[in-house]
Structure 1
Amino acid sequence: MFKIGDFSKLSKISIRMLRHYDEIGLLTPTHINKINGYRYYSANQLSTTNRIRALKDMGFSLSSIKEILTEYNDRESLIRYLNIHYSQVREHLEDTQKKLLKIETTMERIGRTDIMKNYDVTIKDFAPKYMMTLRKTIPTYQDEGMLWHQLFSETKGHNVQVDVPNYSKAVFYDVGYKENYVDVEIQLAVSGNYKDTENVKFRTVPSVTAATAIVKGNFNQLTDACEAIGNWISDNNYDVDGPMFNIYHIGPGQDSNSDNWVTEVCFPVRKK
């Protein structure tokens, strides 16, 4: 089982929202410690959080999502329900383009549930690396590009030699998933020794052991990779042991085509 903070990161749902889901009966912890009140969740609840997020992104209210998960738990009835909502959304096309896209994507995935991509989770030991780093609080996860822009702007003219092949990371330090004001550090492996700038620090990042999964394509798939890692951690008797991070083997900085991106999702772990 996972503590609420670790489950928050794996599910990409804030601690505050997980508590709210518990209060309204949408997602109840597997276990609550009677002495200290700590909530614990199981790995098999990650698939439920993915369904909740997908339905929420389509515009369904939490009460409707609770109804869907309770009464429309087979593929045919869920498709019928989604088709009804699809027709309603079409009447407000200009204001609901994003919701329509979510519905279409979800209906497609329901139709090919049996052939959905499986992520191979492996345990890796990452050696120490000398890296230039920049840590800041950014508005949302989608604003990570601001950090990379500042990193390169602030070190322009310093003749920094980037390691080849590229080894760039983003470390997410918040205890749980957050919707706003996210504490993120980006790291890029470099060769040589350099002086710190106002915000960019050069340091050796220590070794870490992590459960990892490779994602090929756009970042929308990262949630599924987190689910696979969460199940692996639970099945193999490990605990999460530090802030999760992404390694961008091929990212927006190297290739503008998201189909070619390669991201390694990593959760530090230790044996129980």
Structure 2
Amino acid sequence: MMLKIGEFSRLVQVPVPTLRYYDQIGLLKPGEVDCLTGYRYYSLDQIPRLHRILALKGLGFPLEQIAEVLATGISPEQMRGMLRLRHAQISQQLVEAQNQLTEVEARLQYIEMEEQVSRYDVILKHVEPLLVASVRAILPSHSASGSLFAEVYAAIGAHVSKALDPMPSEGGQTLVIWYDSEFKEQDIDGAAAFRLRCRVPEHGRMHVHELPAAMMASTIHHGPYNTIGQAHEAILKWTKANGYRIVGPDREVYLYNKPPIRRDDASYITELQYPVEKV
């Protein structure tokens, strides 16, 4: 018994556009096509194939993979493998969805407590290993880190042109690394660093080393250095609210500034990075 596409659609409760698309990609061809009118006709014998398509689609398999399964057949072991892989994919999606839900709840809680939307958006990002030249010292204040950059630059010496990344200016990409595990107003353990394209000889207090890859909680501070503490506070609140803990030194990566460096220049752009892991 042959049914027109509309009749077959009503019987199997699959929209006509979907049946036409399955025909177009070769997943479910009509049993017959009238050469004069172009009408598509389907047989009842095609219902089991359609149900298998719908079942596999309901499990989340892409149509291309379903077409391959139907064309070549599949053994029980192959089906087990497909289902195990799909199980792993869904499990990962659930973890990601739960993390998103946690962050949504944290943002709602912040708005309810503060009655405002935070100006800082915190994201998780994977940061690759980073080769740097740095000078580390115990500093009287956070702002004193600026005095170390000239020492690092001078120690790099004749290798500046080939070793330094040219951003954010021709002076090279700079960052500060804060090693203290808690906030301190004085006797602060910090390092001024330049990002390197290649290793250079060490000189004086300047040390060449690789910062490890890490999962970072990151935010952007667009404003003067004398208000950057607000960005640090935003990340600390985010890590606590979302169930993370800090597992290493944090970094201030200077994406844009211009000499002479001023503490109150509102045009500066800085990325803050905190290495974190789930509690």
**Structure 1 equivalent of residue 267 of structure 2:** 260
Determine the C-alpha separation between the residues in 2 that align with 1:203 and 1:119.
Answer: 31
Aligned residues of 2:149 and 2:193 also touching (Cα < 8 A)? no
Matches within 5 A, 1:71-150: 118-150=119-151
Determine the C-alpha separation between the residues in 2 that align with 1:114 and 1:175.
Answer: 30
Deviation at 1:214, TM superposition (A): 0.3
**Structure 2 equivalent of residue 269 of structure 1:** 276
SS in 2 for 1:177: coil
Determine the C-alpha separation between the residues in 1 that align with 2:180 and 2:241.
Answer: 25
Matches within 5 A, 1:206-225: 206-225=212-231
After superposition, give the CA deviation of every residue in 1:56-90 in whole Å (9 maximum; x if it has no partner).
Answer: xxxxxxxxxxxxxxxxxxxxxxxxxxxxxxxxxxx
Alignment match of 2:242 (pick from 201, 219, 236):
236
Q: In the superposition, relative to structure 1, how do residues 116 and 236 fare at CA in structure 2: closer, same or farther (>3 Å)?
A: closer
Amino acid at match of 1:231: K
Determine the C-alpha separation between the residues in 1 that align with 2:178 and 2:238.
Answer: 20
Determine the C-alpha separation between the residues in 1 that align with 2:116 and 2:261.
Answer: 28
Determine the C-alpha separation between the residues in 2 that align with 1:248 and 1:149.
Answer: 15
Deviation at 1:142, TM superposition (A): 1.5
Deviation at 1:248, TM superposition (A): 0.8
Deviation at 1:154, TM superposition (A): 2.6
After superposition, give the CA deviation of every residue in 1:96-150 in whole Å (9 maximum; x if it has no partner).
Answer: xxxxxxxxxxxxxxxxx96675211111111012211111112211211111121
Determine the C-alpha separation between the residues in 1 that align with 2:200 and 2:155.
Answer: 13
Q: In the superposition, relative to structure 1, how do residues 194 and 174 fare at CA in structure 2: closer, same or farther (>3 Å)?
A: same
**Structure 2 equivalent of residue 190 of structure 1:** 196
TM-score, reference length from structure 1: 0.53
Give the percent of matched residue pairs that are identical in Structure 1 and Structure 2: 23
Determine the C-alpha separation between the residues in 1 that align with 2:254 and 2:230.
Answer: 17
**Uncovered stretches (5+) of structure 2, i.e. residues with no partner:** 1-105
Deviation at 1:185, TM superposition (A): 1.3
**Uncovered stretches (5+) of structure 1, i.e. residues with no partner:** 1-42, 48-112
SS in 1 for 2:266: helix
Deviation at 1:236, TM superposition (A): 1.6
Q: In the superposition, relative to structure 1, how do residues 268 and 133 fare at CA in structure 2: closer, same or farther (>3 Å)?
A: same
Root mean square deviation of aligned Cα = 2.7
Higher relative contact order (CA closer than 8 Å, sequence separation 6+): 1
